Amino acid sequence: MRFTAVMVTWNSAAEIPALMESLDRYLARGCELLFVDNNSSDGTADVIRAASPGSRLIELAENVGFGPACNIGVQAAVTCVVILLNPDSVVIDNSLGGLAEVASRERALFAPLVLNEDGSPQISARPALASCESTLISIWPGAFMPKRLRARCEPWRYAERLPAGWLSGACLAAQRELLLEFGPFDERLVLYGEDGDLCIRAHQAGVPSISAGDVARIVHLGGRSGSQAFSDVGMQRKVEARWWVVHERLGAARGIFDLSLQFIVQASRFVVKRALRRDAEFHSVWLRAARRAVRSRKPPLPSPLPDA
């Protein structure tokens, strides 16, 4: 199945060689590789040209952000199916072709099973934001749920085809025309929150989001752009972006409800880990970010990206 893999880069020179080696090994010939570079300052464009001379490269004059750059790549693609793929990913088999094949037949958003470097599943498919399932998983640990209920609340754990309300933008496949109907991303969200917002808008339009863990899998390192751009790995922006998305798409009440649920989860995990003398820094950083965010009483639209 021929498709276009769109990869948005920003100071990604260190990640490109491993990605290209895996794509060269497993991607079928005839598939288009399309890079959109967000004005990198570390020679990313030169690394792409050297590692993948047959790929297409769009070099932007400024860092417009992940979402807007993805939109440029989807618009420039020439195949009927597009797979958005983060540059800090590694393809570990030839299953992306199968994901493209499934996406070509069904009007839906699809994501593969996403793995961490150690082979454990990464949180890449969740229930819809501010939904009954997201509420349930906040108060009832998935490990103690019946399997059928856990599959609804934690689809990211299963190598099965399961419905989801949110899919990670680390790897997302769909028909190009379908993506163009939605943007695919709201360009007001330049980093973080774009994938959740897309899935909400798709659901409202009758387009399902599906975790296709039975079809494809990739390894995603994650967090590279955030760690380069922000001292808190983008935590403040992540908190504000999610609150803004739920408030904008589902209303103020559900926005506050969703933020409150997250606060309960992070605070309880912080307390438990501190009691067990385990590292609770992530939860501490999240709680500080949430406290700063709520001072505005209304979710702020995430600010422009800092200079590289």
Claim: this prediction has a pTM higher than 0.95 = no
Q: What is the DSSP string of 104-141?
A: HHSSSEEE-EEE-TTSPBP--EEPPTTSHHHHHHHHS-
* Structural element, H or E, at residue 219: strand 217-220
Q: What pLDDT score was predicted for residue 230?
A: 46
Question: Over the chain (308 residues), what is each successive 10-residue block's mean pLDDT?
Answer: 95 95 89 96 96 94 95 97 97 96 97 96 94 90 94 96 96 98 94 95 98 97 57 82 96 94 93 96 95 86 65
Query: Position 276: which residue type?
Result: L
Q: What pLDDT score was predicted for residue 300?
A: 79
Say if CB 241 and CB 189 are below 8 A apart: yes
* Residues 121, 218: Cα–Cα separation, whole Å: 10
* Structural element, H or E, at residue 167: strand 166-167
Q: What pLDDT score was predicted for residue 307?
A: 55
CA angle 141, 227, 76 (to 5 degrees): 95
* Residues 249, 300: Cα–Cα separation, whole Å: 14
* Residues 91, 93: Cα–Cα separation, whole Å: 6
From 227, 224, 240, select the one nearest 190 (Cα to Cα).
240
Whether omega for the bond prior to residue 299 falls within 30 degrees of 0, making it cis, is no
Say if CB 115 and CB 121 are below 8 A apart: yes
Q: What pLDDT score was predicted for residue 296?
A: 81
* Residues 176, 284: Cα–Cα separation, whole Å: 40
Q: Which residues of 242-270 are buried (b: 16+ CB within 10 A; e: fewer)?
A: bbbbbbbbbeeeebbbbbebbbebbeebb
State the chain's maximal CA–CA distance in angstroms: 55
Sheet strands side by side (includes 209-212):
56-59, 32-37, 4-9, 81-85, 171-175, 109-111, 209-212, 161-164
From 246, 268, 258, select the one nearest 141 (Cα to Cα).
268
Q: What pLDDT score was predicted for residue 224?
A: 56
Q: What pLDDT score was predicted for residue 231?
A: 54
Say if CB 126 and CB 138 are below 8 A apart: no
Q: What is the dihedral of CA 19, 37, 98, 113, to 10 degrees?
A: 70
Q: Measure the N-to-C terminal CA separation of the chain; round to a whole number of Å.
A: 37
A 10 A CB-CB count for 41 gives: 11
Beta bridge pairs of residue 174: 82
Q: What pLDDT score was predicted for residue 223?
A: 56
